[in-house]
């Protein structure tokens, strides 16, 4: 067909001059332009990894979106000076991008390789007085981060608004039986979030640990390891106090810590505790009781006056013939700051003492503005054994039937006025304070409670997944099933297969 014949054909003219086709092309162009415009200004990131390795924690998001960050005049500057050959560099870089995104312009991130960019490394070294003989992360919350840091003029120095973290702090190692070390967790989120908090607030606040009651000492701080990690992330310094020689706690004290006391307090010592609890302002008391210790009448009386009665019992499972210290507990609905944990379960190891929330005089409690909250409850399968040194057996006339309270909180004052609110947390288990026994959700929950006690409720929340290795947590039922599977079922199955093969070859 010739060219002229094609032009004269009516169907050909219809295709050539169809206005609907041109309209579709115009609409398609508009859609493409609109999608590009929206994508440039409004976008969202989603972590598609199964264990959310490239997502910062809820706690970090709360810190970045808090008023302390968002109401700053100048942004916080994060200088990430790591070699690009560092293991997990891509993951750390992605997490820093998340910090920048949630900071809404109040977080600036600079990443550079000090080996590939020596000129920039020299500039940073002159400003902060550091040497790049290892990977470094610098968090600068000064008003002018471009001027050199004055480190020799204490009165004019602004170094308390700068934090320098070495690269070794970003990875957690464990020692293997052959004395070698293996990287097990990436501490990026925890280290950077803590450094931001410290740099923004500047000077550290103080909490005092009671010494001389048989619980913790300067030489053995095993029970303070978890608390020390929490307080450091909240810019709190722990100091020791011999309460027997103190007339009152220092004015800069924001909290008092009593851990696993084995001997009772004297009346003079309790007067120091009461004076601190009744002070105006924001005060916090943390008490961890040891269920194996003798009764402490004066300390217990003080706790009962606030609405928490230690029962001096042992929390046990009812359907067992021997003591079993592996408790299934629930985080109940109580404080609003713990909403992320409500109705969640956890396994509590070690001996526990139950607590009862009650006020001897409700009218007096109302006048003193006392309010109590359960923080950790057992299921109904447990009971409180009141007899010591005997074979455990539930007695409905003597023992306490579950669910039982293992941890509780008390506030004194108006909750709507956080600057004049005294807070107290009482824990009936000391093993939750050790790093070996505490579960991840327990550490996160404890961190949230400490942030609330220290008037930093926005700094609470769950932590991010930091594991570099696969970790499987099994309860006792699953462990028992795996033991039967590996010790009985699998050998019998192998024997059966061998018999079948032998019988087949025999015939």
Residue 366: per-residue pLDDT: 85
Residue 86 reports pLDDT greater than 50: yes
Backbone angles phi, psi at 51, to 5 degrees: -105, 20
Average pLDDT over residues 84-97: 89
Average pLDDT over residues 216-220: 76
19-33, 162-176, 292-306, 388-402: lowest mean pLDDT where? 388-402
Which range among 17-31, 160-174, 467-481 has the greatest average pLDDT? Answer: 160-174
35-49, 304-318, 488-502: lowest mean pLDDT where? 35-49
Average pLDDT over residues 358-370: 83
Residue 1: per-residue pLDDT: 46
Distance CA 183, CA 186 (A): 8
89-103, 142-156, 338-352: lowest mean pLDDT where? 142-156
* Contact partners, residue 125, CB within 8 Å, separation at least 6: 131, 132
- Output the pTM of the full model: 0.77
70-79, 266-275, 303-312, 392-401: lowest mean pLDDT where? 392-401
CB 287 within 8 A of CB 258: yes
pLDDT confidence tier of residue 113, bands split at 50, 70 and 90: very high
Query: For a pLDDT cut of 70, what percent of the chain falls above it?
Result: 90
168 burial (CB, 10 Å; 0-12 / 13-18 / 19+) is exposed
Q: Which tens digits make up the pLDDT trace of 25-58?
A: 888 889 988 888 777 766 667 777 767 777 888 8
Residue 77 reports pLDDT greater than 90: yes
Residue 423: per-residue pLDDT: 92
Residue 459: per-residue pLDDT: 83
Residue 100 reports pLDDT greater than 60: yes
Residue 59 reports pLDDT greater than 80: yes
Hey, which CATH number is domain 204-459, 3.20.20, 3.40.720, 1.10.3470, 3.40.50?
3.40.50
Average pLDDT over residues 79-101: 90
Question: Which has the closest alpha carbon to 59: 361, 454, 464, 392?
Answer: 464
Average pLDDT over residues 334-358: 89
Residue 111: per-residue pLDDT: 93
Q: Does domain 58-173 have CATH number 3.40.640.10?
A: no
Q: Which tens digits make up the pLDDT trace of 446-465?
A: 999 999 998 888 888 888 77
Q: Quick one: which H or E segment has residue 127?
A: helix 118-128
pLDDT confidence tier of residue 476, bands split at 50, 70 and 90: low
Q: Which tens digits make up the pLDDT trace of 403-444?
A: 999 999 999 988 778 778 899 999 998 888 887 777 888 888
CB 203 within 8 A of CB 237: no
The average confidence (pLDDT) of the chain is 84
Residue 92 reports pLDDT greater than 60: yes
Average pLDDT over residues 269-297: 90
18 burial (CB, 10 Å; 0-12 / 13-18 / 19+) is exposed
Q: Which tens digits make up the pLDDT trace of 131-142?
A: 888 999 999 998
């Amino acid at each position: 067909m010739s060219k002229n014949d094609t032009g004269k054909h009516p169907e050909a003219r219809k295709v050539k001059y169809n206005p609907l086709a041109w309209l579709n092309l115009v609409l398609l162009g508009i859609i493409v332009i609109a999608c590009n415009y929206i994508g440039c200004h409004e976008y969202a990131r989603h972590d598609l990894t199964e264990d959310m390795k490239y997502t910062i924690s809820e706690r970090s998001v709360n810190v970045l979106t808090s008023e302390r960050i968002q109401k700053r005049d100048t942004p916080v500057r994060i200088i990430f000076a790591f070699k690009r050959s560092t293991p997990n560099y891509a993951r750390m870089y992605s997490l820093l991008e998340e910090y920048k995104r949630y900071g809404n312009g109040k977080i600036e991130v600079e990443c550079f390789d000090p080996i590939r960019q020596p000129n920039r490394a020299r500039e940073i070294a002159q400003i902060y007085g550091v040497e790049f003989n290892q990977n470094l992360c610098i968090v600068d919350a000064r008003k002018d981060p471009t001027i050199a840091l004055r480190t020799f003029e204490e009165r004019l120095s602004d170094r308390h608004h700068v934090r320098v973290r070495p690269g070794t702090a970003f990875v957690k190692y464990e020692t293997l039986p052959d004395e070698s070390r293996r990287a097990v967790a990436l501490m990026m989120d925890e280290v950077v979030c803590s450094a931001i908090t410290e740099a923004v607030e500047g000077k550290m606040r103080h909490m005092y640990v009671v010494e001389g009651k048989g619980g913790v000492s300067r030489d053995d701080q095993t029970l303070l390891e978890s608390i020390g990690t929490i307080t450091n992330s909240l810019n709190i310094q722990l100091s020791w106090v011999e309460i027997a020689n103190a007339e009152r706690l220092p004015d800069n004290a924001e909290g008092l810590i009593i851990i696993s006391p084995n001997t009772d307090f004297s009346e003079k010592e309790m007067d120091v505790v009461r004076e601190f609890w009744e002070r105006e302002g924001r005060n916090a008391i943390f008490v961890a009781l040891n269920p194996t210790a003798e009764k402490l009448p004066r300390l217990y009386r003080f706790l009962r006056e606030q609405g928490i009665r230690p029962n001096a019992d042992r929390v046990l499972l009812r359907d067992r013939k021997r003591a079993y210290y592996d408790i299934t507990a629930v985080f109940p609905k109580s404080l609003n700051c713990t909403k992320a944990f409500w109705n969640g379960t956890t396994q509590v190891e070690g001996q526990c003492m139950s607590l009862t929330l009650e006020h001897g005089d409700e009218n007096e409690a109302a006048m003193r503005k006392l309010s109590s909250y359960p923080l950790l409850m057992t299921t109904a399968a447990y009971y409180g054994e009141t007899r010591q040194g005997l074979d455990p057996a539930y007695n409905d006339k003597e023992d306490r039937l579950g669910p039982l309270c293992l941890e509780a909180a008390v506030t004194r004052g108006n909750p709507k006025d956080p600057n004049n609110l005294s807070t107290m947390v009482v824990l009936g288990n000391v093993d939750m304070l050790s790093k070996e026994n505490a579960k991840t959700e327990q550490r996160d929950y404890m961190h949230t409670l400490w942030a609330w006690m220290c008037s930093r409720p926005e700094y609470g929340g769950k932590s991010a997944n930091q594991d570099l290795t696969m970790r499987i947590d099994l309860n006792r039922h699953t462990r028992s099933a795996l033991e039967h599977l590996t010790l009985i079922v699998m050998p019998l199955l192998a024997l059966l297969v061998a018999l079948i093969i032998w019988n087949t070859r025999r015939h």
